[in-house]
């Protein structure tokens, strides 16, 4: 029997990436699938706190074990912004507007170093387990590619000459911050 895992997210792109990583061993259910129609407030100061707020909300209101991902882009030349504010960097939750603001703020900067970070909180049997994934790379001067979401068109991982948005999902899923954190979660579930 396929096991079901609840992923406390409203982000369909995150859901698709994670569902692909977990299949065929697990079926992934997101917030919509469990009929949780709220945007869970992310009032923490760190990825770990915000991920835990999301997983705890589901545990407290639905009584289900679940995991949540809080993630973002840290850009060295911008004092590691947008970080936990990545989803609403410009003030609104719109990927293109946020990406364009980031490119504007990077104009003239020679240090293009950046990293994507994910912290996953897994609440299992009332206990919180945290898993982190990081990938280092650079911010392009202009967008390239149409796959993925968020800042993917301007993020080029180290060792590659294409952006995340120029990779297909299975390629991104081998190296991405989210995939690395998910690998740790899967190892934990197996043990």
Straight-line distance from the first to the last Cα atom of the chain, in angstroms, rounded to the nearest whole number:
19
Q: Which is nearer to ligand ITT, 39 or 161 (CB)?
A: 39
Using CB under 6 A as the binding rule, whether residue 74 contacts ligand ITT is answered as: no
Of 77 and 175, CB closest to ligand ITT: 175
* Separation CA 120–CA 68 (nearest Å): 5
Residues 88-147 that bind ligand ITT (CB under 6 A): 116
β-pair partners for 187 = none
What span, in angstroms and rounded, lies between the C-alpha atoms of 186 and 5? Answer: 11
By CB under 6 A, tell whether 151 contacts ligand ITT: yes
Q: How many residues bind ligand ITT (CB under 6 A)?
A: 21
Catalytic residue annotation: 70
Is there a contact between 148 and 174 (Cβ–Cβ < 8 Å)? no
Interface residue with ligand ITT among 28, 52, 55, 86 (CB under 6 A) is: 86
CB atoms within 10 A of CB 46: 12
- Footprint of ligand ITT on this chain (CB under 6 A)? 9-11, 14, 42, 69-73, 86-87, 116, 148-152, 164, 176, 178
């Amino acid at each position: 029997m396929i096991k079901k895992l609840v992923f406390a997210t409203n982000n369909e792109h995150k859901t698709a990436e994670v569902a692909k990583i977990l299949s065929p061993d697990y079926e992934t259910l997101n917030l919509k699938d469990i009929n949780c129609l709220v945007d869970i407030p992310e009032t923490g100061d760190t990825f770990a706190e915000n991920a835990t707020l999301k997983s705890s909300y589901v545990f407290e209101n639905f009584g289900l074990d679940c995991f949540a991902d809080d993630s973002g882009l840290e850009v060295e030349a911008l004092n590691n912004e947008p970080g936990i504010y990545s989803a609403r960097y410009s003030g609104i939750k719109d990927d293109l507007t946020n990406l364009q603001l980031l490119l504007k703020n990077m104009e003239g900067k020679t240090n293009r170093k950046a990293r994507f970070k994910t912290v996953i909180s897994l609440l299992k049997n009332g206990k919180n387990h945290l898993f982190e994934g990081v990938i280092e790379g650079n911010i392009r001067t202009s967008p390239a590619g149409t796959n993925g979401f968020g800042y993917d068109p301007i993020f080029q991982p180290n060792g590659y000459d294409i952006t995340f948005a120029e990779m297909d999902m299975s390629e991104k899923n081998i190296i991405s911050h989210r995939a690395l954190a998910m690998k740790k979660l899967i190892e934990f579930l197996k043990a």
